[in-house]
Structure 1
Amino acid sequence: MERLQKVIAQSGITSRRKAEKLMEQGLVEVNGKVVTELGTKVSPEDEVKVQGVPIEKEKKLYFLLYKPRGVITSVSDDKHRKTVADFFEQYQERLFPVGRLDYDTSGILIMTNDGEFTNLLLHPSHQINKEYIVKTEGIPDREKLQLFKKGIKSEGDVLKAKYVKVMSVDSKKKTAIVKIVLHQGKNRQIRRMFEWLGTPVQKLKREKFGFLTLDGLTAGEHRELTPQEIAELKKLAK
Structure 2
Amino acid sequence: MRIQRALARAGVASRRRAEDLVAAGRVHVNGAVAATGQSVDTDADSITVDGTPVVQPVGFHWIVLNKPSGVLTTKSDPAGRRTVFDLVPPRPGLTYVGRLDYMTEGVLILTTDGEAAHKLTHPSGEVERTYVATVRGDGPAAVRAGRNGVELEDGWMQPMDIAARNISRGLWELEVTIAEGRTREIRRFCAALDLAVERLVRTRFGPVSLGKLPSGATRPLTGRERDIILAIAQ
For normalisation by structure 2, the TM-score amounts to 0.77
Match of 1:154 among 142, 152, 155: 152
**Is the 8 Å Cα contact of residues 5 and 38 (structure 1) preserved in structure 2?**
no
Question: For the residues of structure 2 that align with 1:225 and 1:66, how far apart are their CA atoms?
Answer: 13
Partner of 1:180: 176
Question: Over residues 89-115 of structure 1, what are the superposed CA-to-partner deviations in whole Å (9 max), with x where a residue is unaligned?
Answer: x43313111111111110000011211
**Is the 8 Å Cα contact of residues 128 and 237 (structure 1) preserved in structure 2?**
no
Partner of 1:72: 72
Unaligned runs of 5+ in 2: 13-26, 47-53
- 1:216: Cα distance to partner? 4.1
- 1:118: Cα distance to partner? 0.7
Question: For the residues of structure 2 that align with 1:3 and 1:235, how far apart are their CA atoms?
Answer: 18
- Report the aligned-residue RMSD: 3.0
Partner of 2:128: 129
Partner of 2:92: 93
- 1:222: Cα distance to partner? 0.5
Partner of 2:102: 103
Question: For the residues of structure 1 that align with 2:96 and 2:146, how far apart are their CA atoms?
Answer: 27
Aligned positions, number = 210
Aligned to 1:48, the other structure's residue is in SS state coil
**Is the 8 Å Cα contact of residues 116 and 233 (structure 2) preserved in structure 1?**
no
Match of 1:217 among 213, 220, 225: 213
Partner of 1:164: 162
**Is the 8 Å Cα contact of residues 8 and 115 (structure 2) preserved in structure 1?**
no
**Is the 8 Å Cα contact of residues 4 and 38 (structure 1) preserved in structure 2?**
no
- 1:149: Cα distance to partner? 3.1
Question: Over residues 174-231 of structure 1, what are the superposed CA-to-partner deviations in whole Å (9 max), with x where a residue is unaligned?
Answer: 2111111111211111111111111111100011112211234201111122344222
Identity, % of aligned pairs? 27
Aligned to 1:135, the other structure's residue is in SS state strand
CA 1:180–1:227: 2 relative to 1, 3 Å:
same
Q: Which structure would you say has the larger Rg?
A: 1
Counterpart amino acid of residue 168 in structure 1: N
CA 1:148–1:139: 2 relative to 1, 3 Å:
closer
- 1:116: Cα distance to partner? 1.4
Question: For the residues of structure 2 that align with 1:79 and 1:56, how far apart are their CA atoms?
Answer: 29
For normalisation by structure 1, the TM-score amounts to 0.76
Deviates more, 1:208-217 or 1:64-73: 208-217
Question: For the residues of structure 1 that align with 2:62 and 2:106, how far apart are their CA atoms?
Answer: 16
Question: For the residues of structure 1 that align with 2:6 and 2:185, how far apart are their CA atoms?
Answer: 36
Question: For the residues of structure 2 that align with 1:139 and 1:156, how far apart are their CA atoms?
Answer: 25
Partner of 2:113: 114
